[in-house]
Structure 1
Amino acid sequence: MLDVGLTTFMILATSLVMLMTPGLAFFYGGLGCKKNILSIMMQSFVSMGISTVLWFAFGYSVCFSGNLHSGTDFFGILGNLDKAFYHGITPSTLYSPDKRFPEYIFIAYQMMFAIITPALITGAFINRVSFKSYIFFLVLWQIFVYYPFVHMVWGGGLLAEWGVFDFAGGITVHATAGFAALASVYFVGRRQEKTDPNNIPLVAIGTALLWFGWYGFNAGSELAVNSVTISAFLNTDTAASFAAITWLLIEWNTGKKKPTFIGLMTGAVAGLATITPAAGYVDIYSAAIIGIIAAVGCFLAVKFKEHKGWDDALDVWGVHGMGGVIGTICLGFFANSAINAAVPNGIFFGGDGMLLLKECVAILFAISYAFIFTVLLFKTINKFIPVRVSNIEQTVGLDLIHHGEVARQQ
C-alpha cells in the first residue's frame, strides 16, 4: 500500500532539488559578465532537457539496475539495461517494500541530481567554451563520469560494497564536478578579460534558491521521514550558516578588510556543499564545526587558486570541489552511529579509522578520475569541434554570437 505521507514528502524534495538548477543559473548569471549572461544560464537550463532524455533512455538503468553483490551489474562500475526506457516500471510500482512511494518519484529525484552535476562545472569556463562543444561534453561526461560514480556509491556498486558512505553527493556530485571544473580550466586556459559580477542581486536570488533547494537535496536523500531526515535538514542549514558567517569574518579581517555580500553568499554555498556527504550521518554540533572548517578550507582553496593563476571564473573547484573533498574527509572523523545506525563511527566517536581511510581512498579516486577523464574528453572533442571560442567571440560576447540574444538592452 502506498505511503501517502512519504510520497508527498518525496515529491516535495524532488521539486526542491529541481529548483536548484534554475537557482544555479541565476547564481552564475549574476556572477558572469553582462555579455555572457544568457550563455552561462542556458548551459544550466539545457542540462534539464538533455539530462532528462539521457536518464529516460538508459541513465537511470545503468545507475540503479543490478548490483555487485548479486553479480548483476558490470563489475560494480555500471548497472545493466534492465530498466532502460523505464522498462517494467509503472506509476504504481513501489520503490521498495519498506519505502512505499512510487519508483517514478525516485527516478525523478535522482534525475535532478544528474541534471545539476554537470551544470556546476560550467561556472569554471564561463565566456570561453562554445555551446556546441558543451553539448557533447554534457552528454559524454554524464555517461562516463557521473553515471559510474552514482552506481558505485549509491547503486550497490564497487564503493558501496567496500563500505564508502556519501549521504547526498559529496563524492558523486561536488568532488567530481569540482575537479572536472579544474581540468576544464587547465584545458581551455584563461579568459581574455576578467570582469566583476554584473548583477549581485541576481546572485542573491540564485543563492536563496540553492539554499532552499538544498533542504530537498540533503533531507530527501534519506528517502524516508524519520530522525535522520530531520538531522539532515537542520544540519544543512546549520553548516551553511556557520560557513557563511565564518567566511564573512575571514574576509572582513583579510585582504580589503570589508565584509562583502558575494563573500557571505559564497561561504553559504561552501557550507552547503561541504555538509552534503555527511548531512545524515553527523550530529548538530559536528555540523556547526564542519561549517566552520568548510569556510576556512574553501576560502584558502580560492586564495590558492588565485595565487596559482588558475582562471576558475566562479570558484567551482574552490567551493564545490574542495567542499566535497573536505566534507567527505570530515565524515571519517565526525560520523556518529547514534544519529544514523547505517554508518560506522568516525574517529571522534570511537571509530577505528577504517571509515576515514575508505572515504579518503574513494575521494582520491573520484577526483583523479574526474580530472583526467575531463582533460581527455575536452581534447577529444576539440579534434572535431573547437572547444575554446575565439578572442573576437569573447570580445563581442557569446550571448550575441552564439545565441543571437542579449540579456538586456544597453
Structure 2
Amino acid sequence: MAEPPAFNASIPNGGNSLEVDVNAQYAGYEFNYSYIVFCGFIVWLIIPGIGLLYGGLARRKSALALLFQSLMVVAVTTFQWMFWGYSLAFSRDAGPFIGSLTNFGMKHVLAAPSPGSNVLPEIVYCLYQLLFCACTVMIVVGGAFERGNIIPSLIFSFFWATIVYCPIACWTWNSNGWLYKLPSLDFAGGGPVHISSGWAALAYAFVLGKRKHHGEHTHGKPHNTTLVFLGTVLIWFGWFGFNGGSALNASIRAMLAAFNTNTAACTGVIGWVLVDYIRNRGKFSVVGACEGAIAGLVGITPAAGYVSVWLAAVIGFITAVICASLQNINDWMHIDDGMEVFKLHGIGGICGAFMTGIFATSSISALDGVSVYPGGIDGNGKQVYLQLAEIAAISGYSFTVSCILLYILKFIPGMNLRVEEEAEMIGLDKAQFVDEQIGDWSMFDTVPGVMGKNNESSGAMVTPMPKHESPETA
C-alpha cells in the first residue's frame, strides 16, 4: 500500500480537479473515509432522535415545537458551520483558544487531507464535525422547552455555536488547542458536546425562569412514552457513529469504541433501572430505562477509545447511577430544567471525563497504531488532574458566556426570548404553528349530544364515557 497522503500547503484545496485526479492520493485508503461518511450519516439521526425524545418528554401541547426545532437547528447550524464555524474550530493556523477565518465560507475545504486525519478528505471531516455541532446545539435547546420562543432560540443557536461550541472544540480537538496540548483526553466530545451543552441548557433554564404552573396534573410528566422510546433508539443507533467514528479511521480502535458505546449504554440502562426499582418499590419506568441509556452513552463518550470493554461497562453503570440518584437536582437548584439536560449531559459528561482520566489505558489507545495515552490505571495519576482542568474550564466558560448571550438577547427590544404567559398556557404548538397537531385529531372531536370538557394538558376535548359501559366494552 502506498504512503498515506500528506497535506501540501501550496495546494490547500487538494488540487485542481480539472488537471489531476484528486482521488488518486487516497488509493488504498478509501475504506477510512467510506467508514467515516457512514458514521456521519447515522450521527445525523441523533438530531431528530433528540427532537422525538424531547417531544415525548414535553406535554402534548408543546411537543410539535421540539420536532420542528430539531430540523431547524440542523439548518441553522449547517449555515453557521459553512459560514465560519468550521474555520473557527478547525483551521490549521488556529491559536490555542480559537481558530482563524482561513477557511471562511468553506474556502479550500475539499480534497486535501484533513487536519484531523490525513486519510480523510477535508470535506468528509468537515461534514462529520458539523453533525457534532448540530447535535450539541439541539441538546442545548432542551433547556427552553415549553416556554422559549422559537425564532430567538434559533438566533441563540447560531451565536452559541459561534462563541461557545467552536472555541471549546478548538481547545479540545484542534492540534493547536490548549486542552489538546495538555493533553486532556476526550475521544468523542465529553467536553465540547456534553459538558458544554449541559451547562448552556442550565443557563437557558435559569435566564428564562420557571414555567407557569396553574394546577395542570400533567405538569412535568412525559406526554408520550412511545416517542421517548423511539427517540432513544435513534440516539443510541446514531451514537455508534458518534463514538465509533471519532478515531477518524477504520482501525481496531474505532471498532472497540463502537463496542464500548453499546456496552456503556446497556450498563447505563441497568444502573438507572436498578435505582428506579429501589426508589419506586419494585416498579419499573420505561422513561427511566431510556434516561439510563442516554446517561451511559454520555459517560462513555470521552472514554470510548481509551478504555477496555469492562471498564466501559463500569463507566456506563456509575454514570447512570449518579445521574439517577440526582432526581431532585432541579428542586435543589431552584431551576426548571424539565428535560433534565444538565443532569444527563452536564453531570453525566463530568462523570465520563473524570473517569476517563482514571481508566484510560495505553494499550487501548494504541489500537490505532499511533496513539499512546495512559491514565491513572496505568500509573499516570497526573491525567486525573488534567481532566479536572478540562471540566472546570469548559463548565465555567459555557455557563458564563451562555448567560451573557441569553441576557443580551433577552433585553433586545422585540426579541421576546420567552413566550407570553397566554401562549405558554395554550401551548407552543397552538400559539406558533399552523393547523397541525401531534397525534390523533380525533381527540378534539366530541360525540353529538355529549358535552366534552377541556383537558388542561393538551387542550383536547375529552368525551366522558357513558356510565353503563366498562373500559373493556367502550
TM bracket, shorter-chain basis: over 0.9
How far apart are 1:103 and its partner, in Å? 1.5
Structure 1 outlier segments of 4+, above 3 Å: 96-99, 306-309
Equivalent residues of 2:306, 2:373 under 8 A apart: no
1:37-56 alignment, distance < 5 Å? 37-56=63-82
Q: Counterparts of 1:279 and 1:189 in 2: how far apart (Å)?
A: 36
Tell me which residue corresponds to 2:407.
379
**Matched positions, count:** 402
Return the TM-score normalized by structure 2. 0.82
Q: What's the CA shift for 1:232?
A: 0.5
| 1:225 aligned counterpart, secondary structure | coil
Matched, 1:174 2:188: no
For the residues of structure 2 that align with 1:201 and 1:27, how far apart are their CA atoms? Answer: 9
C-alpha distance in structure 2 between counterparts of 1:137 and 1:88, whole Å: 28
Could you say which residue in structure 2 is the equivalent of 1:73? 94
* 2:349 matched residue in structure 1: 324
The Cα offsets for residues 284-332 of structure 1, whole Å up to 9 and x where unpaired, read as 1110110111111111233333444421111100011111100000011
Q: Which residue of 1 aligns with 2:393?
A: 365
For residues 372 and 309 of structure 1, what CA distance do their matches in structure 2 show?
18
Q: Would the aligned equivalents of 2:120 and 2:248 in 1 still touch at CA under 8 Å?
A: no
Report the CA distance between 1:220 and its aligned residue: 0.1
The partner residue of 2:89 within 48, 58, 63 is: 63
Partner of 1:216: 241
Identify the range of structure 1 (371-380 vs 327-336) with the bigger mean alpha-carbon deviation.
371-380
Once the two structures are TM-superposed, the CA of residue 230 in structure 1 deviates from its matched residue by 1.5
- Deviation of 1:60 (Å): 0.8
Partner Cα distance (2:109, 2:159) in 1: 26
Gaps of 5+ in 2: 1-24, 214-218, 445-474
Contact in 2 for aligned 1:335/1:343 (Cα 8 Å): no
Q: 1:165 aligns with which of 178, 185, 189?
A: 185
Counterpart of 1:406 in structure 2 is 437
Cα gap change, 1:98 to 1:140, in 2 (>3 Å): closer
- Contact 1:17 / 1:112 at 8 angstroms: preserved in 2? yes
The AA in structure 2 aligned to 1:40 is: L
Query: How do residues 240-389 of structure 1 correspond to structure 2 at under 5 angstroms?
Result: 240-255=265-280, 257-341=282-366, 342-351=371-380, 353-384=381-412, 385-389=415-419
Q: Is the 8 A contact 1:10 1:223 kept in 2?
A: yes
| Seq. identity, % | 32
Change (3 A) 1:320 1:87: same
1:36 matched to 2:62? The reply is yes
Q: What's the offset of the Cα at 1:387?
A: 1.3
Corresponding residue for 2:168?
149
Cα distance in 2 between the residues matched to 1:248 and 1:115: 30
Assess, with a 3 A threshold, how the Cα gap between structure 1 residues 97 and 407 changes in structure 2: closer, same or farther: closer
SS, match of residue 36 in structure 1:
helix
Letter matched to residue 391 of structure 1: E
Question: 1:190 is matched with which residue?
Answer: 210
What residue number does 1:22 align with?
48
The residue matched to 1:77 in structure 2 has which SS?
coil
Decide whether the 8 Å contact of 2:319 with 2:352 is kept in 1: yes
Question: Paired residue for 1:392?
Answer: 422
CA distance in 1, matches of 2:113, 2:376: 37
RCO comparison, higher one (Cα < 8 Å, 6+): 1
Deviates more, 1:241-250 or 1:384-393: 384-393
Contact kept in structure 1, 2:363 and 2:372, CA below 8 Å: no
Letter in 2 for 1:170: G
C-alpha distance in structure 2 between counterparts of 1:101 and 1:141, whole Å: 28
Q: Distance between the aligned counterparts of 1:330 and 1:317, measured in 2?
A: 18
Confirm whether residue 10 of structure 1 aligns to residue 36 of structure 2. yes
1:44–1:116 Cα contact (<8 Å) kept: no
Q: Distance in 2 between matches of 1:9 and 1:73?
A: 27
Task: Find the counterpart in structure 1 of residue 4 from structure 2.
Answer: none
Q: What code does the residue aligned with 1:379 have?
A: Y
Q: Once the 2 structures are TM-superposed, how far is the Cα of residue 343 of structure 1 from its aligned partner?
A: 4.5
Counterpart contact for 2:116–2:125, Cα < 8 Å? no
Output the amino acid matched with 1:39: A
Contact 1:145 1:370 in 2 (8 A): yes
Compute the displacement of 1:130 (Å): 0.7
Tell me which protein shows more helix as a share of its residues.
1
Task: Provide the C-alpha distance between the structure 2 equivalents of 1:346 and 1:97, rounded to a whole number of angstroms.
Answer: 23
Q: Which deviates further from its counterpart, 132-141 or 95-104?
A: 95-104
The Cα shift of 1:170 comes to 0.2
In 2, are the aligned partners of 1:165 and 1:343 still within 8 Å (CA)?
A: no
Q: Deviations over 1:38-74 (max 9, x none)?
A: 11122221111011111111111111113xxxxx324
Q: 1:306 to 1:248 in 2, by over 3 A?
A: farther
TM-score (normalizing by structure 1)? 0.94
| CA-based RMSD | 1.6
Letter of the aligned partner of 1:380 in structure 2? I
Contact 1:277 1:328 in 2 (8 A): yes
| Deviation per residue, 1:254-311 (Å, 9 max, x gap) | 1454111000010000000110000000111110110111111111233333444421
Q: Which residue of 1 aligns with 2:154?
A: 135
CA distance in 2, matches of 1:151, 1:266: 30
Cα pair distance change 1:200/1:158, threshold 3 Å: same
How far did residue 350 of structure 1 move? 1.7
Q: Given that residues 99 and 223 in structure 1 are in contact (C-alpha distance below 8 angstroms), is that contact kept between their aligned partners in structure 2?
A: no
Shift of 1:348: 2.2
CA distance in 2, matches of 1:246, 1:49: 36
Which residue in the other structure is 1:86 paired with? 106
Secondary structure of the residue aligned to 1:388 is coil
Aligned counterparts of 2:117 and 2:223: Cα–Cα separation in 1: 49
Structure 2 CA distance for partners of 1:190 and 1:98, relative to 1, 3 Å: closer
